[in-house]
Structure 1
Amino acid sequence: MQLVARVSSAPDRLRVLAPGLLACGVVGAASAFLSEHYGAPVMLFALLLGMAMNFLSGDGPCRPGIEFCARQVLRIGIALLGLRITIAQVVALGWGPVVLVIACVVLTIVVSMLAARLLGFNTLFGLLSGGATAICGASAALALSAALPSHPQKDKATLFTVIVVSALSTVAMVLYPMLTQALGYDPALAGQFLGATIHDVAQVVGAGYSISTEAGDVATLVKLMRVAMLLPVILFASLLTRRSGQDQGGERPPLLPWFAVAFALLVMLNSTGWVPKVVQSAGNDVSRWFLVAAIAGIGMKTHLKELATVGLKPVVLMVGETLFLAVLALALLRWLA
């Protein structure tokens, strides 16, 4: 009976959500157009255009769809990231890049959480910003935000993290290839450094292939290994959320959110070789569009005036995280070489 009731109410639910979903979709399409023509990250354009349209998230017909896009569409997009990587891709690189990625991700997140506390922030903000820096930029920020406990400032913290990490990723895409050339790195070593340090996948690809095809291939695989670290970090965030729910007397959330489980299952399915290339490509495209629409929805929910109140310290924190990651990667590559 409950299933029948849900099916019968689906058209009504869709009518309620349609205005907000359409608004997020239009902003996402406009962001993709601007990104293709000006070369800046599509996530950054989606955030900025979304914030310009924040009046739509007030009490009105668009609000339910925007809320749905910022939560459920976001989770589906994160789950579909699993179609980007396979276990064989990770194994083929050998133990050196694996050690590099695990050490960079773990140490960057730990140092970020400690630095956040020293600067007077909630430790979870350090996990959010450190995870975005260490794993895969805006996508990691959105995934971790979805797994962390609810907080009045969570949306603002997430939006701020995505803006700063996208900007820093663009700067790194320009500067880091020049740094690898100045250090005399060969294409394989340069690819490992770029894949281990630049935040967003698109910027890693752009930086790697600007050096050579070999550097681009290695950078992409190392970057996808960092994306694979999203699952254990989400698990860690979920454990903190469960503890928080227990301490506050609230209901304990599941150990792993459904989107994290779906992410892991898609990685394993993709590793079997049964998934056709066309399905992988379609899944990646859908994931990208869903994440862009979701970040547009999050932007619509945030007012610029509120974002401006965060001050300088969060920017210092994230710049410091980026520099720490770069220095750590250089040191580890020197040791592993």
Structure 2
Amino acid sequence: MALAVGAALVASGINAVVPTLSALLVAILLGVLVANTVRLPPAIHPGLAVASKHVLRLGIVLLGLQVSLQAIAGLGVGMVAVVVAVVVGGLVVTEYAGRALGVVPSQRALIGAGFSICGAAAVAAVEGVVEDKAEEDVVTALALVVLFGTLMIPLVPLSAGAFGLDGPTAGAWAGGSIHEVAQVVAAGGIIGGAALQTAVVVKLARVLMLAPVVMWFGWRSRRAGAGPMAGRPPLMPLFVAGFLAAVALRSTGLVPVELLEVLKIAQTLLLAAAMFALGCGVRFATLRGVGGRPFALATVTTVAVAAIALAGVLLVF
């Protein structure tokens, strides 16, 4: 646990010096670097397991405090419909394209959630309710989120300029198509002007979709599961209920702004510690063994999500 927290502090420090580098992204990369260059003693693994599950879920609960229902409602019915279309469309495309490519169901679910909702946090959240998953399914989905989300940071602003999109439209497209919240912030900052605020609010609307999507996968796993009901994933995991409660609390306006800022720092540290622990599970030898099919699926899903988001914002703006 101390190792994970130390890595989170290092990642946050790097983010403070270079704001375009997400603390979560840096933490994952640090974990990958450590896993592939240092032989960690067995005593380290139980603490990393706690960080990758329990600490992660606490971070997701606190993430709900960044989502205001009023801000999302301010997007208008049209943009909210676009967000729903992006998430649902991304999941559907991933499912059918994954079947055609021969990607296993658990990996389809993890890639679809990560690319359609909010990146690594969504992968880890859905991992808790998806059955018959292998360790390489999770680490591959995480690696793909980092790779493709990072590539989207320069591609979306460049493409928005080529398409002649104005600031708010380009920001809405960035928020609707890029995987991680921090990656959206980086792209919105590159676009400049009013794009950043629009991008963040649209992205947070996608984050809110985490709850129903996790519940959907939980229900699907329970329906398909064999054996006693007690051994199946919960329909609504406790951390999802906590996430929704945090969203409701933030939306009341009762939490002081100063406290929200402190909790945002805590949320970043918790998620960064969890991302480091998850990154420690990513080994290059494992990734080489998964083949090219998940990478092909990630490409298809990225293009599909970006296309749905672009079509939607062009209709709304």
Q: Tell me if both proteins adopt one fold, taking TM over 0.5 as the criterion.
A: yes
Determine if the alignment matches structure 1 residue 47 to structure 2 residue 28. yes
Give secondary structure in 2 for the equivalent of 1:53: helix
2:117: which partner in 1? 135
Structure 2 residue corresponding to 1:259, chosen from 239, 243, 246: 239
Q: One-letter code of the match for 2:301?
A: E
1:16: which partner in 2? none
**In structure 2, distance between residues paired with 1:122 and 1:58:** 32
Structure 1 residue corresponding to 2:149, chosen from 165, 169, 172: 169
**In structure 2, distance between residues paired with 1:47 and 1:330:** 29
**In structure 2, distance between residues paired with 1:33 and 1:160:** 27
2:84: which partner in 1? 102
Determine if the alignment matches structure 1 residue 298 to structure 2 residue 265. no
1:78: which partner in 2? 60
**In structure 1, distance between residues paired with 2:242 and 2:230:** 25
Structure 2 residue corresponding to 1:116, chosen from 86, 92, 98: 98
Give the RMSD, CA atoms, in angstroms.
2.1
Shift of 1:275: 0.7
Match runs of 1:214-253 below 5 Å: 214-246=194-226, 251-253=231-233
More moved, 244-253 vs 140-149: 244-253
- 8 Å CA contact retained: 1:131, 1:144: yes
Q: One-letter code of the match for 2:116?
A: A
Match runs of 1:146-185 below 5 Å: 146-149=128-131, 151=133, 153=134, 155-185=135-165
- String of CA shifts for 1:163-184, please: whole Å, max 9, x gaps: 2212222221112112112212
Change (3 A) 1:259 1:50: same
**In structure 1, distance between residues paired with 2:50 and 2:289:** 26
TM-score, structure 2 normalization:
0.91
Change (3 A) 1:100 1:158: same
- 8 Å CA contact retained: 1:70, 1:297: yes
- 8 Å CA contact retained: 1:81, 1:284: yes
Change (3 A) 1:333 1:302: closer
Q: Which has the larger radius of gyration?
A: 1
Give secondary structure in 1 for the equivalent of 2:233: coil
- 8 Å CA contact retained: 1:57, 1:66: no
**In structure 1, distance between residues paired with 2:304 and 2:176:** 12
Give secondary structure in 2 for the equivalent of 1:62: helix
- 8 Å CA contact retained: 1:75, 1:146: no
Q: One-letter code of the match for 1:283?
A: L
Change (3 A) 1:52 1:131: same
Q: One-letter code of the match for 1:95?
A: V
Determine if the alignment matches structure 1 residue 62 to structure 2 residue 44. yes
**In structure 2, distance between residues paired with 1:57 and 1:106:** 40
**In structure 1, distance between residues paired with 2:157 and 2:215:** 33
- String of CA shifts for 1:149-170, please: whole Å, max 9, x gaps: 253x1x3222222222122222
Shift of 1:248: 7.7
Q: One-letter code of the match for 2:122?
A: A
Q: One-letter code of the match for 1:136?
A: C
1:211: which partner in 2? 191
Greater relative contact order (Cα < 8 A, sep 6+)? 2
- 8 Å CA contact retained: 2:171, 2:196: yes
1:283: which partner in 2? 263
Structure 2 residue corresponding to 1:326, chosen from 306, 312, 317: 306
- String of CA shifts for 1:255-312, please: whole Å, max 9, x gaps: 1000000000000011000011122122222221111111211222443322221111
Identity %: 32
**In structure 1, distance between residues paired with 2:288 and 2:230:** 32
Change (3 A) 1:300 1:208: closer
Structure 1 residue corresponding to 2:11, chosen from 31, 47, 50: 31
Change (3 A) 1:246 1:121: same
**In structure 2, distance between residues paired with 1:198 and 1:301:** 24
Q: One-letter code of the match for 1:46?
A: A
**In structure 1, distance between residues paired with 2:216 and 2:8:** 31
**In structure 2, distance between residues paired with 1:234 and 1:57:** 32
Name structure 1 gaps, 5 residues minimum: 1-20
**In structure 1, distance between residues paired with 2:309 and 2:33:** 37
More moved, 265-274 vs 279-288: 279-288
Shift of 1:249: 7.2
Q: One-letter code of the match for 1:141?
A: V
Give secondary structure in 1 for the equivalent of 2:231: coil
Q: One-letter code of the match for 2:287?
A: L
- 8 Å CA contact retained: 1:44, 1:163: no
